[in-house]
């Protein structure tokens, strides 16, 4: 699939970006860098930016973290346009997309647990850092098995990727990228057995539905972009594919990625320790210029 051919945000369409935190914890320095870049892109384009709380998983997301995220964003000066959007209020949309994928023969029910998959397929570091294990092709269920299911609950659902196909895209910062399905990434989850839509599905339904013209997010989601391009195609949303811009991850002095669990890097911990928005942006700049601000 060559997405260079796809209509990517024609100039007549006004810029619309998004800030999309998952409220499973407090925002940290890495979030500030990514969201700052997204905000700068939208403002430089004279466009809009919406806030979308990705709170689809009720086991992991807490209202307190959503409130804290909004407060931290305001403190940083990252203001959004319109009312916040909440994934938890959009279940029907995701369900409609699940039905469409089932009817189209794109997905299959899968009884393998994440643990089993992790044990069978260790993470590899190839051209793209794999952030999830490659689902073994031998464990696939035929997509025909999906027809018997009225609702997704009770089992995991995976998208069957076209083995060997290069799912290419042009990244606004990194240039042309060519991940290969079946090697760089495998069959991925679209719905979880506890009846929660998976990130890849929810984000495509939302980015298309919210009219997003450019997605700015961290480079840990590069392979997700190829997965999501397959979903745009399967859902007949090729005309809604946004541009993509993956920002470099913040690293510590020894070059390691900052861990989200490092509580000292939570923005509110830094604030309590005396940081101001200015010192936060300076610290991010020391890591390299904010990608959204480079011409």
> How many residues touch ligand GLU (CB under 6 A)?
7
Three-class HEC string of 220-260 = HHHHHHHHHHHHHHHCCCHHHCCEEEEECCCECCCCCECCC
Whole-number Å distance between alpha carbons of 90 and 113: 26
Please report the sign of the dihedral spanned by the C-alpha atoms of residue 95, residue 97, residue 103, residue 107.
negative
Using the rule CB under 6 A, is 87 a contact of ligand GLU? no
Closer Cβ to ligand GLU, 22 or 156, answer by number: 22
Per CB under 6 A, the segment of 15-23, 76-84, 172-180, 187-195 that binds ligand GLU is 15-23
CA angle 251, 168, 174 (to 5 degrees): 35
Nearest residue to 201 via CA among 237, 175, 170, 151:
237
Subset of 51-70 contacting ligand GLU (CB under 6 A): 54
Among 16, 217, 227, 246, contact with ligand GLU (rule: CB under 6 A): 217
78 vs 146, beta carbon nearer ligand GLU: 78
The interface region with ligand GLU, picked from 14-22, 139-147, 155-163, 242-250 by CB under 6 A, is 14-22
Give which of 223, 251, 234 is closest to 30, Cα–Cα.
Answer: 251
Site for ligand GLU in 147-206 (CB under 6 A): 203
C-alpha to C-alpha distances, 56 to 53, 114, 241, nearest whole angstrom: 8, 19, 22
Q: Which of residues 20-39 bind ligand GLU (CB under 6 A)?
A: 20-22
- Least separation in angstroms between residue 104's CB and ligand GLU is 23
Residues that bind ligand GLU (CB under 6 A): 20-22, 54, 203, 217, 221
């Amino acid at each position: 699939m060559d997405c260079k051919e796809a209509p990517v945000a024609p100039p007549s369409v006004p810029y619309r970006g998004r800030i999309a935190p998952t409220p499973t914890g407090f925002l940290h320095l890495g979030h500030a860098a990514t969201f700052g870049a997204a905000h700068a892109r939208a403002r430089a384009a004279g466009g809009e930016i919406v806030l979308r709380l990705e709170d689809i998983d009720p086991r992991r997301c807490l209202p307190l973290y959503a409130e804290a995220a909004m407060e931290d964003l305001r403190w940083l000066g990252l203001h959004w346009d319109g009312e916040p959007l909440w994934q938890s209020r959009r279940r029907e949309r995701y369900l409609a997309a699940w039905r469409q994928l089932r009817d189209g023969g794109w997905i299959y029910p899968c009884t393998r647990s994440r643990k089993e998959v992790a044990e069978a397929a260790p993470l590899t570091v190839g051209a793209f850092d794999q952030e999830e294990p490659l689902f073994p092709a031998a464990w696939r269920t035929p997509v025909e098995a999906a027809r018997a299911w009225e609702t997704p609950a009770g089992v995991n659902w995976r998208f069957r990727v076209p083995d060997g196909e290069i799912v290419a895209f042009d990244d606004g910062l990194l240039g042309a990228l060519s991940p290969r399905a079946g090697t760089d990434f495998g069959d991925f989850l679209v719905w979880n057995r506890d009846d929660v839509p998976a990130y890849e599905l929810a984000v495509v339904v939302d980015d298309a539905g919210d009219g997003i013209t450019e997605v700015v997010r961290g480079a840990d989601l590069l392979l997700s972009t190829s997965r999501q391009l397959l979903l745009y195609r399967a859902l007949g949303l090729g005309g809604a594919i946004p541009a993509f811009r993956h920002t470099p991850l913040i690293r510590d002095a020894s070059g390691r990625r900052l861990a989200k669990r490092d509580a000292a890097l939570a923005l509110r911990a830094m604030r309590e320790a005396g940081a101001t928005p200015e010192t936060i942006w300076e610290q991010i700049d020391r890591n390299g210029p904010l990608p959204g601000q480079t011409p």
